[in-house]
Structure 1
Amino acid sequence: MAGTGILLYRFWTVENPSLLVCTLLFSLVLIFRFGRKGKSTADSPPPSPWRLPIIGNLHQLSAPLYKGLHALSLKHGPIIRLQLGSIPYCAVSSGDLATQVAKTHESLFSDRRITKGARILFSEGDGVLISPDNKCWRLARKLCVNELLSLRKVQSIHFIRKEEVARLVSMIRSSSDQKIDLSDSFLKLAGSIVSRSVLGRKISSDEDERDNVEGKLALQSAHAITDWFSFEDIIPSLSWLDHLTGLSRRLKNTSQAIHAFLDQVIDERETAGIQSGNEGDDTKCFVDIILELLKKEMISPDFTRGNFRAILLDMFVAGITTSAAAMEWAMTELARNPRIMKKVQEEVRGVVGSQSEIHESDLDRMEYLKCVIKETLRLHGLTLIARQASTTVTIGGFRLPAKVTALINIWAIHRDPAAWDKPLEFLPERFLNTCYNFKGQDQVYFPFGLGRRICPGVDFAMSEVEYALANILWLFDWELPDGMLAEDIDMRATTSVIKLKKAPLCLVPVPVASPACQCT
């Protein structure tokens, strides 16, 4: 969707110049005929840039979408009415208006407009990420929170994080003084942790066998849901063009591959039986627990195999890519800022002292590390969240019609100079001695969203990110490859809702003299 403006702009200007001229003339007639409204009131819609028939405001949006929306907001204000193709949208770029949409009126904005990619991938059941606010969504969210994402469950699977981070440390040690791809390493780490805690699959330590199927499927799913351009999402009557471009086939093939993989996992765990003999409940994976609840008829009979797959797919898309991106960008910013790197390493090493390993309780005393992560998520975290209005509602004194989709520009809010001092600089100190958290309770900081649809996996993600970063900052110094300067680091990001680096982060690890870590 982020590239929609560029793609259609090329279509109109290059391939159909005569059609463009006619369209522009017709648009000018409309503008002079109806003119612009006076100052808005509660009975009028938000201001809107001029638009063209058929494509609406698509020609005014550059890629990535969140930057294009931000540019328009600087001209027209923090709330803008847009027409992307034939679909009505409203762009929201201020914290107070975002709070009105997702919290004050959360019951009216609890649904999401589903993209073609999401509809095909989740064709046989509702999950948590993109499903409408209905009985199935509430059941799916309850299962995820109670059986995987609650603080108690997150703490109970610390042994998985410990073992997988130990494997990461071992791999880094074997590559000491050589450049390693941290982007790929973090994706594998996140994939392994989700694979074990959700699917009960322990990936082989043999590098030749470790092909990271989970991580690849997570990225492919995320791209299919949010990034692959579809004519149907913009102009439904042109859905047939998706067949010509090959998109429909790609989505179908991706869906079949993911469903087959998840079905295989469910069948394997079901055949093996619930591993409850000599093991406690805390050692069971999420799939085991759901199968056990189904066997005991403790889940609604409306819960289908499709719902099961949808929840697992949610865990992959959100659980792997979000954590991997946070670790990747944190180390990127530290590599660019040696002062901050030194400061956070001194804190971590001071807390650990002469211990032979990092305990989870130690993380509570690593305040500056937490600030580094918060600042990373401010600059490189979630970019957009979408909420669809179920009825007419007034936001910021403007009337929004039913079915309009509000695009909350988290990227812009996190860079608002009215809310943040030096908003474009990486300054973890800004979070010291503040009340900012990950729960979306502030009007300027929403790294995991806000309102009833806030990401429920905050504890799961942060426990992994904090523990992994603490270990590699404790045990290694990090240098840039020979001949590379901090300003040479490629900071370009993908256009996804969850931003990853376009170019992988490659650094050189240098082991430091410290007590041998028991986990290695």
Structure 2
Amino acid sequence: MDGIGNVIYNLPADHSCELLVFSLLLSLVTLLMFARKINTARARSPPSPTRLPFIGNVHQLTTRPHRGMHSLSQKYGPIMLFHYGHKPVYVVSSAAIAHEITRTHDASFASRPTTKVFHMLFYGAADLLFSPYGDYWRQMRKLCVNELLSSKMVQSYQYIREERVSELVTSIHSHCLNHKSAAVNLSQLLLRLSNDVLAGAVLGLSEGANEKMRESFLRAVELMGEFSFTEHIPVLGWMDHLTGFTKKLRKTAEELNTFLDQIIDSHEMMKPKLHGQGGDRSDKKDFVDIILELRKADMVGQILTKENMKAILLDMFLAGTDTSATAMEWMMAELAKNPDIMTKAQNEVRAVVGAKSKIEEADISRMEYLKCVIKETLRLHSLWLLTRQSPSTNVIVAGFEIQPNTSVLINLWAIHRDPMAWERPMEFVPERFLNTCWSDNKAGYFPFGMGRRMCPGNQFSAAQIEYAMANLLFWFDWKLPGGMDPEDLDMRDTATIVARKESPLLLVPVPHAYMLK
């Protein structure tokens, strides 16, 4: 302003009119620049619901946060600023914005914020799901993708899928013989199936030998979805002790740690037997066997301490059991609600298998419509409801500024129902996926998460879901109990880290003619 002051000071006295005009123009320019600065600042912060002291916007959520946030986004827009207690959280509900994040800012969004629960369960976030993006994370992901969950390894676990699914089919058939026209609890059966497949592949456990372990793992999944006062409203952190949350978390972490110690120790004792002469499991290695071999060969450096091993094993189990079981449960529920689609899927499966007495995994590649049904199930019932990212740098998304190390929630439930990305988004229409392949990741479709943090176990999960569903549709016809009308089937969900069906899925199995021969 010194230069401008000199200009004004040196104007002749008889130029008072010019001085007045100059002053007015200067004031107008200053005012416009100030107004623009205010508008720019406002534009860089997304719309936000009015918040309350201490709790922020938590009171505006329902018991189903994915639905509550979707409802708020209808008013405040596809990206909004939400206050979860004292923490600011950016919520994305648009397929276009999610696509922008994965295509433009994937590296920046490669980290995830961690919590008290994750730190306690996963040995200080030493796992793959919640460890910070960096060298350690890259090495762990490389281990999982190349050694544990590669196409070759997924194929090697075929025998486990076949054994467990065969046991499930036999169990349901036995039920039909002893309890004609009685429904089975498919929710319970599919959860047990998923648990047993993972117990065999990850830990080397036989079917039915892990009841206590199953309870601990399921409790851990529930705790991961529970509200923590310490995390979100620190001033009320003492409430976690009062509600028993901290006690349950500590007890569950201790149980899982003891159990995993026993598993690793028993594998180390059995190791000489597995690969010695006459060993009958040399071609049936589980995840623990593989990791121990890599450690012995010094192929993983210093990253795999025993604690790190346990964190990775927990990842594999917790990320796989509930998600795969829930996906299969919802698929059978959608088919029961849409009997014409079920008939079409069954006709395809039975045409492919023909008169054979067993479904081969090679048959699955010819079941195009079945895969479309699975894809559509994963669209309406995502394996992950809300994926949480945390940018490492200052980024601009959809014109809004997002500060580093803040939480960004990607509402996959809302994105998979975005009318700008999907025709008839609320309807179950498997045909929308015809002539596409499983790995397609079109804008707006993220069945296994997003970007670099996408679930590395997608092939493992897909193989399990495809084989189990093909068998259930081949060997049985399925009816709703008590002559229930399909429109009356309860399709309400309840949320932990996945959207389980609120009420158990009860269906009546009717053995198909192939089984009666």
Same structural fold, with TM-score higher than 0.5 when normalized by the shorter chain: yes
- Per-residue CA deviations over 1:205-226 (Å, capped at 9, x if unaligned) read xxxxx6644443332121112x
Distance 2:267 2:107 in 1: 38
Q: Name the counterpart of 2:238.
A: 240
Cα distance, 1:212–1:368 mapped onto 2, change above 3 Å: farther
Shift of 1:325: 0.7
CA contact (8 A) 1:387 1:405 kept: yes
Distance 2:500 2:62 in 1: 19
Q: Secondary structure at the match of 2:410?
A: strand
CA contact (8 A) 2:480 2:507 kept: yes
Q: Name the counterpart of 1:138.
A: 138
CA contact (8 A) 1:153 1:282 kept: no
Note if 1:469 corresponds to 2:469.
yes
Q: Name the counterpart of 1:378.
A: 379
Aligned 1:67-106 pairs, distance under 5 A: 67-106=67-106
Q: Name the counterpart of 2:401.
A: 399
Q: Percent identity?
A: 48
CA contact (8 A) 1:40 1:46 kept: no
Distance 1:136 1:516 in 2: 54
CA contact (8 A) 1:118 1:224 kept: no
CA contact (8 A) 1:363 1:466 kept: yes
Q: Normalized against structure 1, the TM-score is what?
A: 0.87
CA contact (8 A) 2:217 2:256 kept: no
Q: Name the counterpart of 2:428.
A: 426
Distance 1:223 1:253 in 2: 14
Distance 1:302 1:474 in 2: 45
CA contact (8 A) 1:335 1:479 kept: yes
Distance 1:38 1:373 in 2: 49
Note if 1:335 corresponds to 2:336.
yes
Q: Name the counterpart of 1:444.
A: 444
Q: Name the counterpart of 2:275.
A: 276
CA contact (8 A) 2:126 2:308 kept: yes
Distance 1:413 1:282 in 2: 42
- Per-residue CA deviations over 1:450-497 (Å, capped at 9, x if unaligned) read 100100011100101000110111011111112422233221212122
Which consecutive unaligned segments of at least 5 residues does structure 2 have? 1-36
Note if 1:363 corresponds to 2:364.
yes
Distance 1:41 1:341 in 2: 53
Shift of 1:82: 1.8
Distance 1:199 1:434 in 2: 35
Q: Name the counterpart of 2:203.
A: 199
Q: Name the counterpart of 2:120.
A: 120
Q: Secondary structure at the match of 2:481?
A: coil
Note if 1:60 corresponds to 2:60.
yes
Bigger proportion of residues as helix: 2
- Equivalent in 229, 232, 250 of residue 231 of structure 1: 229
Distance 1:459 1:513 in 2: 32
CA contact (8 A) 1:124 1:306 kept: no
- Per-residue CA deviations over 1:71-130 (Å, capped at 9, x if unaligned) read 111111111112222111101111121123244212211111112211111135611112
CA contact (8 A) 1:218 1:321 kept: no
Shift of 1:266: 0.8
Distance 1:148 1:302 in 2: 16
Distance 1:495 1:125 in 2: 23
Matching residue's letter, 1:245:
T
CA contact (8 A) 2:164 2:207 kept: no
Q: Which has the larger radius of gyration?
A: 2
CA contact (8 A) 2:114 2:125 kept: no
Matching residue's letter, 1:444:
G
Matching residue's letter, 2:464:
E
Matching residue's letter, 2:132:
P
CA contact (8 A) 1:41 1:398 kept: no
Matching residue's letter, 1:120:
M
Q: Secondary structure at the match of 1:89?
A: strand
Shift of 1:253: 0.5
Distance 2:102 2:252 in 1: 32
Distance 1:282 1:325 in 2: 30
CA contact (8 A) 1:191 1:214 kept: no
> What is the aligned length?
474
Q: Name the counterpart of 2:216.
A: 217
Shift of 1:145: 1.7
Distance 2:414 2:42 in 1: 25
Matching residue's letter, 1:480:
L
Moved more, 298-307 or 68-77: 298-307
Distance 2:226 2:283 in 1: 38
Q: Name the counterpart of 1:265.
A: 263
Note if 1:304 corresponds to 2:305.
yes
Note if 1:251 corresponds to 2:252.
no
Moved more, 457-466 or 264-273: 264-273
Q: Secondary structure at the match of 2:88?
A: strand
Shift of 1:241: 2.3
Distance 1:247 1:276 in 2: 44
- Per-residue CA deviations over 1:327-380 (Å, capped at 9, x if unaligned) read 111001111111011110000001111222111111111111001101111111
CA contact (8 A) 1:117 1:224 kept: yes
CA contact (8 A) 1:50 1:57 kept: yes
Matching residue's letter, 1:198:
V
Moved more, 45-54 or 450-459: 45-54
- Per-residue CA deviations over 1:420-472 (Å, capped at 9, x if unaligned) read 1211111111111245x446x32111111110010001110010100011011
CA contact (8 A) 2:395 2:401 kept: yes
Q: Name the counterpart of 2:486.
A: 486
Q: Name the counterpart of 1:410.
A: 412
Q: Secondary structure at the match of 2:493?
A: coil
Shift of 1:399: 0.8
